[in-house]
């Protein structure tokens, strides 16, 4: 199963509405929903997808989705965002893996510019998130069983 804040950024007509305020509420919803899903014991592991918007997380997931794995498709640009998910997984005895999309900022900005305006974080926000990720990259010390870095591959 894929759990994503993006799901909560859609309005009643299916239009994607991005704003910092809406993203905050979407993160809160995912953080609320994840413990219940782990509690059900339907998922044998939790995978946190780490990377900027337009870095390729969702595309990677299309090829790697597994039915007994709970994937959280979000940015997770610093340890403070990842920590609650690691703690909830530990509480329910579920191992946590992390997949990091190593996509250059220039590529992310270029891809982002091609998105519809309603689905496009501004460049200042992307650059801010990029700096946060550089300052706080995922490490094994955070409690991950595995840490996989997916290198950028130009198409």
Domain boundaries, the chain: 2-151
Closest CA to 70 of 30, 101, 16, 10: 30
Answer for the pair 148, 100: CB distance below 8 angstroms, yes or no.
yes
φ, ψ dihedrals at 70, nearest 5°: -95, 115
Fold of 2-151: Rossmann fold (3.40.50)
- pLDDT, tens digit, for every residue of 41-80? 999 999 999 999 999 999 999 999 999 999 999 999 999 9
pTM: 0.91
Higher pLDDT, 124 or 6: 124
């Amino acid at each position: 199963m894929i759990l994503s804040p993006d799901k909560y950024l859609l309005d009643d007509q299916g239009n994607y509405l991005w704003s910092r305020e809406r993203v905050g509420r979407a993160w809160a919803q995912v953080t609320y929903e994840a413990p219940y899903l782990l509690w059900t014991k339907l998922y044998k592991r939790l995978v946190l997808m780490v990377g900027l918007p337009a870095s390729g997380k969702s595309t990677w997931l299309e090829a790697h989705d597994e039915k007994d794995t709970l994937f959280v498709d979000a940015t997770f640009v610093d340890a403070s965002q990842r920590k609650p998910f690691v703690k909830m997984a530990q509480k329910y005895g579920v191992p946590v893996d992390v997949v990091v999309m190593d996509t250059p900022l220039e590529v992310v900005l270029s891809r982002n510019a091609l998105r519809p305006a309603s689905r496009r974080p501004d460049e200042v926000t992307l650059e801010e998130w990029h700096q946060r990720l550089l300052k706080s990259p995922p490490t094994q010390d955070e409690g991950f069983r595995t840490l996989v870095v997916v290198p950028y591959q130009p198409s």
